[in-house]
Amino acid sequence: AQSTLSSYNTTRAAQLKTTYAPSLEAEYLQARHDAIQEVIDECRTELSRIYPKESSNSSSKHNRTDYMIDSFEAARSVLLKLSEKLG
């Protein structure tokens, strides 16, 4: 049979793990969110620099512009879902 002290310590350890796990997960998700946001911001800045907004008279559009924009929008969508999890 388990002693009362041993049982208390086991229960207490389980309670602590249960209490701290969500906050650690939230910290991890926040760090991940911040890192993704930083990459998206840097990429948008570079996209704006490399592919400035096209005027209606310009026909010189790089053939991968739409692909790049779609890729970053997809990454942003993932980031927004992560933000919703952080609540």
Statement: residue 30 has pLDDT above 80: yes
For 6-74, the three-class secondary structure string (H helix, E strand, C coil) is HHHHHHHHHHHHHHHHHHHHHHHHHHHHHHHHHHHHHHHHHHHHHCCCCCCCCCCCCCCHHHHHHHHHH
The CB density around residue 74, as the number of other CB atoms within 10 Å, is: 10
Q: Give the Cα separation of 41 and 60 in Å (integer).
A: 25
Domain boundaries, the chain: 4-53+61-86
Q: Give the Cα separation of 76 and 87 in Å (integer).
A: 16
% of the chain beyond a pLDDT of 70: 79
Greater pLDDT, 81 or 86: 81
Statement: residue 26 has pLDDT above 80: yes
Q: Give the Cα separation of 76 and 36 in Å (integer).
A: 8
Per-residue confidence (pLDDT) for residue 55, from 0 to 100: 55
